[in-house]
Structure 1
Amino acid sequence: MQNSLEFANSISTHDLRVLGINEVAYIKPQESDGQVYYTIHAADGTEVARVPEREVAVVTVRQNNMEPASIH
């Protein structure tokens, strides 16, 4: 039987990427041509949406039964 440390060390990078893929979405502020917008990313880093305001991003994530997480 593995202890916690052995188990943690056995998790692959791929496993970490897909962990929470259907539960967490990341919100990241972006800027283009002086305009700020927010991108929503799946847990694996895939961009799934762009919206004009952070509040819209949070609502969008929650409407899809996911928890928002901010990337600064």
Structure 2
Amino acid sequence: MTSTEQKSLQTPPMSNGEFAHLGEGSVAYLRKVSSDDLRGRFPGLTEIGPGLELWALFGANGEPILLSDARDRALAGAMENDLVTVAIH
């Protein structure tokens, strides 16, 4: 057995609760979205035209943080909040 395999056996698995909070407050994901897909994801969103391509920033737990028409503005919002971003395609 290798040392990596031994360490794996010694480390207890994460609980569902621990996994759900993984990255919370430090990681966000950036995703290109269509305005047609936003209903239900951004509560309180005012009417927005159909067929627009936008950039959405979500917390690690899936909570919406911000919505922008420009990728660089969404990334700037993450940086302002000290969040590491990952892209979801």
Alignment TM class, shorter chain as reference: 0.7 to 0.9
Q: Which amino acid aligns with 1:35?
A: L
Larger Rg: 2
Partner Cα separation in structure 2 for residue 28 and residue 38 of structure 1: 6
Q: Which amino acid aligns with 1:23?
A: S
- Secondary structure at the residue paired with 2:62? coil
Greater share of strand: 1
TM-score norm. by structure 1 comes to 0.81
User: What residue is the counterpart of 1:24 in the other structure?
Assistant: 27
The Cα of 1:3 is off from its aligned counterpart by 3.7
Q: Would you identify which runs of 4 or more consecutive aligned residues in structure 1 move more than 4 Å?
A: none
Q: How many residues are paired up?
A: 70
2:66 to 29, 49, 52: 49
The share of aligned pairs that are identical, in percent, is 26
Cα-Cα RMSD: 1.9
Q: Which amino acid aligns with 1:18?
A: H
TM-score norm. by structure 2 comes to 0.67
User: What residue is the counterpart of 1:12 in the other structure?
Assistant: 15
What runs of 5+ residues in structure 1 fail to find an aligned partner? none
**After superposition, what is the alpha-carbon deviation per residue over 1:40-70, rounded to whole angstroms, capped at 9, x for unaligned?**
1111111121111111111110111111111
